[in-house]
Structure 1
Amino acid sequence: MSRIEKDCLGQMEVPDDVYYGIQTLRVMGVSGILGEKVIKYPYLHRALVQMKKAAALANKEIGALDERRAEAIAWACDKVLTGKYDDQFPLDMFQGGGYTCVNMNVNEVIGNLANEHLTGHKGQDEVHPNTHVNMGQSTNDIVTSAEHLCIYPALDKLAPELDKLADAFAKKAIEFADVIKVGRTCLQDAVPLTLGQEFGGYAEFCRRQAENIRSLRAECFYLLVGATAVGTGLGAAPGYQEAFYKHLSVQLGEDVKSTADLFDGMQNDDFCVKVSAAVKQAACGISKIAKDLRIMSSGPRAGFGEITLPSLSPGSSIMPGKINPILPELVSQVAQQTCGNDVVISMAFEQGELEISVWAPTLYKNLFESFDLLTKVIPLFIDKCINGITANRDRCAKEAKETIALSTVVAATLGYPEGVKVAKYAQEHNLAVADAVLEMGIMTKEEADMLLDPALLVNPEKMAEVIARWKGEKQKQ
């Protein structure tokens, strides 16, 4: 069974068991190179359908669309929003034409559902996808608006995962609060700190990223609907824009508004670049943390060996017992892909021309891939890696006590040149700094025990107090 549908290029037979129509079929014949459907990330379709419903109700309110058709379109939109008809959106992620095809695919599905609701059959005789469903819209303003509107659900998913990651690190910060270890800068020994302080820094980074992601949410609700093809509003009836934003705001429970300058909005889709940068920033920072975990867990005998990660998989096909840090490495792969996606998104923005950018497929595919990857990897990272990290306390304590960087205390108390002498002496004679100052006759054992205690160095206020007291006593002598 089939039906005949017409468009500006002619007519085609359309299988009667599908709700999409002739324009969707045409594009299906010249696409499919990526092998991923746009509906893989359903946010765009949901946003388009929500706006189609608001448009129908707005056009009814201003008298541009009769109540019968408007209510049928709104009914069809509600049906599509259930997800039941997701299989009716077959288009490939990569398309030419700035996703005109996606807009028409949505128009056709809604139109056929509405037509069937009114007449008992699919077709264009009562509800036309262009004339009625697309009334007051063009692909140029509706798809760009949908790209903005569909970002907030992704933000709402990612931010809580970043909160959970922060909580996981904060919990470990408490657990490791008393684990003193060597700090490292440029991969060289630095003054001691606690493992808890390091993990506390990780927690704070993740909290900042969550807040940064949330800060973008309000901007998602500034849309271009009413601009139609180039920003002049041609094609929308008087009063349409105000009625549209009123109905969409009620539908979403959000304050949806028109962007300040429709021509700027049509010309520049920099909001996607801004969002991508925020996702990239979070991904890169989490990857940096993952790399830290790889370094701190390296070994078990010939590396840093400060922490132990959960063992998840054999790490070699030839070396028995080798365990790789596969979760931190997975996190870094997500960051690498996100960085690549961000470059592509930046290029797509830059390559827009004149009144519109036709690179919606590039923006959408890469942005939502980044969202999806980061949102999915964080729970795995928490559950399979961070929660199971243990500290190698004895090794951390030994290295903190033996590090040459403790000569910094000598520099702070006796001057930098003296600190250099101690550092060189300790290195040349393979001594801890505490032993070096005794052999050199620079400090008494009591003074060395007091001033060169790694536990003191991780508390800057206490350290300053002890050094000031020591200097005061020296001046009295």
Structure 2
Amino acid sequence: MNQGEEIRQESDSLGAVDVPALALYGAQTVRAIENFPISGLTASPYLIRAIAAIKLAAAQANGTLGLLTVDQARAIRQAAQEVLDGRFHDQFPVDVFQAGAGVSFHMNANEVIANRANQILAPDAVTLGTYVPVHPNDHVNYGQSTNDVFPTAMRVSALLAIRDLQPVLTSLAEAFDGKAQEFDPILKSGRTHLQDATPIRMGQEFAAYARAIRSAASAISTAAEPLHELGLGGSAVGTGINTHPEYRALAIRNLARVTDLPLRPADDMRFAMQSCASVATLSGALRSLGLEIVRISNDLRLLASGPNTGLREIDLPPLQPGSSIMPGKVNPVLAELAAMIGFQVAGNDTAIALAVQAGQLELNVMMPTMTHNLLQSITILTNFLREFDHRCIRGITANADRCALYAASTVALATALNPYIGYRRAAEVAKQSVQTGRSIIEIVRSEKLLSEAQIATILDARAMTEPRAPEEKPTA
């Protein structure tokens, strides 16, 4: 609390707590703020929206079943909908590194929604923190436990975030496809081990990048599928204690409608509470995407290296000056950032893996760090790849003349001679080219290894970029 800030006093099972007078949160949130001043990072908007959707769905189910009064259910639903719509997110100040299982964040949500519900029911008369007629535990949390709500929020928040990531991946793949078509006529030297290899079309390289993004997007969709299975209704240990027999199915059906996600009850509520393997699977798919992004960005930096002393087969859009001392220097800033994003996602995946295996008996209490790292990975990938697409990939240009020079100069053109003069003789031609600086075609012509017609056909660099059957071998 800030010095001089007006306060109100609330009591919980541990005693009295000073709370900012106008805060929608209450005593348990304040205790968490005081206990966990760790990172300064607070819950992702995706997680806040997910838990608000759960509270809305639960209130609707409990209202339908007559377990809340009509007014209580209506006010809780309205308050939760407001949070779902983006209001009051500043009232969720609990650090992402907090007590196990997410109890602090969960109670933060219960307090905010309870206080807001009471404001809705008595706009001019409510006293924040009195929790009448709506109480955080007795009403907002009716039939629920952190142990089934937080795992559900973790899964739903990830699905909401993935829903925003997928269109970005589709657009990025399309951007690479566009460059593949634009650059298809451009011949260049391939490179393996960073050494000359046989010719390739630049369009083929970029088409492969598009395929890599689509493959990663497909893997993410597949990995996210198990997260649609929820243990909401399992309550404390997955047995459904203190819940109505019809509550579980009704609440999840409501939650599916609110989020527009194909959610379903888990076949086994204990499994849904104990195991977070589905989170590890999704994180692994995100890690694979991150690694592909690192690889592709490394390629782009190499291809754009220079301008005078590097490959410079492509130019990346200039986005900002690149040096505080070297005038005119422009760095591949988004391609560099791509690698750093990939590194962060890989690191997050390691933290998630360690947290997932740390579950004990009926609960994995490490869910807050899982959730934070998972949502951070999705968020930074979404935000970065959107910029990478529009500020970098779509503005790439090719230096066709330089590429043509490399395509004609690669000693790996000798590979095409293998079916005609044999690997050993072709290797001698390649070695001679390196030693003398003469091109493969010049050496073949001077030594009369092929006829002019055969040279035109066999050593056609573009023809080497597609499969073809060998021509008739020359006579000895």
TM-score by length of 1: 0.93
Query: Which piece of structure 1 moves more, 139-148 or 50-59?
Result: 50-59
Are 1:236 and 2:243 counterparts? yes
Matched, 1:17 2:22: yes
Q: Following the alignment from structure 1 to structure 2, what is the Cα–Cα distance between the partners of residues 50 and 70?
A: 14
Where does residue 46 of structure 1 map in the other structure? 49
* Counterpart contact for 1:177–1:197, Cα < 8 Å: yes
Runs of at least 5 residues in structure 2 that lack an aligned partner in the other structure: 1-5
Q: Distance in 2 between matches of 1:71 and 1:321?
A: 63
What SS does structure 1 have at the residue aligned with 2:199? Answer: strand
1:6 to 2, 11, 15: 11
Shift of residue 142, structure 1, vs aligned partner: 0.3
- Structure-to-structure mapping, 1:51-450, within 5 angstroms: 51-119=54-122, 120-121=125-126, 122=128, 123-450=130-457
Deviation at 1:447, TM superposition (A): 1.9
Q: How many residues align?
A: 467
Tell me, in whole angstroms, the C-alpha distance in 2 between the residues paired with 1:127 and 1:239: 23
Structure 1 residues 301 and 51 mapped into 2: Cα distance closer, same or farther (>3 Å)? same
* Of 174-183 and 241-250, the range deviating more from structure 2: 241-250
Asked whether the equivalents of residues 158 and 374 of structure 2 are also in contact (C-alpha less than 8 Å), the reply is no
Question: Between the two proteins, what is the percent identity of the paired residues?
Answer: 39
1:417-445 deviation line (CA, Å, top 9, x unaligned): 22222222222332211111123231223
Provide, for residues 80-100 of structure 1, a one-character-per-residue CA deviation record: whole Å limited to 9, x for no partner.
223221121111111023210
Residue type of the alignment partner of 1:186 = H
Equivalents in 1 of 2:327, 2:52: separation in Å? 56
Deviations 1:195-244 (A, max 9, x none): 01101111111122223333345433211111111112222233221221
The CA deviation at 1:334 is: 0.7
Contact 1:175–1:196 (CA under 8 A) maintained in structure 2:
yes
Letter in 1 for 2:374: L
Report if aligned partners of 2:48, 2:83 keep a CA contact under 8 Å in 1: no
1:31 to 9, 18, 36: 36
CA deviation after TM superposition for structure 1 residue 256, in Å: 2.2
* Separation (CA, whole Å) in 1 of partners of 2:181 and 2:39: 47
Q: Please give the secondary structure, in 2, of the residue aligned with 1:207.
A: helix
User: Per the alignment, in what secondary structure is the counterpart of residue 225 of structure 1?
Assistant: coil
**C-alpha distance in structure 2 between counterparts of 1:49 and 1:313, whole Å:** 41
What secondary structure sits across from 1:5 in the alignment?
strand
Query: How many angstroms apart in 1 are the aligned matches of 2:20 and 2:134?
Result: 18
Letter in 2 for 1:37: T
Cα deviation code 1:438-463 (max 9, x no counterpart): 23231223322221121221132xx4
- Cα distance in 1, alignment partners of residues 85 and 166 from structure 2: 25
Q: Which amino acid aligns with 2:408?
A: K
Alignment check: 8 A CA contact 1:410 1:419 kept: yes
Amino acid at match of 2:51: L
Partner amino acid, structure 1, of 2:88: Y
How far has the Cα of 1:3 moved from its partner?
Answer: 4.5
2: CA distance, partners of 1:144 / 1:166? 32
Q: Look up the equivalent residue of 1:42 and give its one-letter code.
A: P
Q: 1:298 to 1:143 in 2, by over 3 A?
A: same
Q: 1:202 to 1:84 in 2, by over 3 A?
A: same
The CA distance in 1 between the partners of 2:365 and 2:418, in whole Å, is: 62
Going from structure 1 to structure 2, the CA distance change for 1:382 and 1:254 (only over 3 Å counts) comes to closer
Decide whether the 8 Å contact of 2:100 with 2:368 is kept in 1: no
Deviations 1:242-289 (A, max 9, x none): 221232233334432111222222111112211111222112112211
One-letter code aligned to 2:25: Y
Is 2:224–2:282's contact at 8 Å kept on the other side of the alignment? no
| Distance (whole Å) between structure 2 residues aligned to residue 115 and residue 102 of structure 1 | 20
- What pairs with 1:441-460 in structure 2 (closer than 5 Å)? 441-460=448-467
Asked if 2 retains the 8 angstrom alpha-carbon contact of 1:401 and 1:453, the reply is: no
Measure, in 1, the Cα distance between the counterparts of 2:262 and 2:459: 60
- What amino acid maps onto 1:181 in structure 2? K
Normalising by structure 2, report the TM-score.
0.93
